[in-house]
Amino acid sequence: MTHPRPITTRFVDRGNVLLTDSWNPAMRQKAVEQFGFDFAEVAKRSQLPFEGYEEGNISLDEYLDWVVFHEQRSSSRG
- What confidence tens digit (pLDDT) does each residue in 16-62 have? 455 566 667 788 788 888 888 888 888 788 777 777 777 778 888 88
Which pLDDT value is given to residue 11? 62
Residue 25 CA: distances (Å) to CA of 29, 42, 43, 44, 59: 6, 10, 8, 11, 21
Range of the domain at 38: 25-67
Q: Record the pTM.
A: 0.56
Domain count, the chain: 1
Q: Is the dihedral of CA 12, 13, 14, 20 positive or negative?
A: positive
Name the residue among 17, 78, 66 with its Cα closest to residue 42: 66
Which pLDDT value is given to residue 15? 47
Q: Assess if residue 30 is contained within a domain.
A: yes
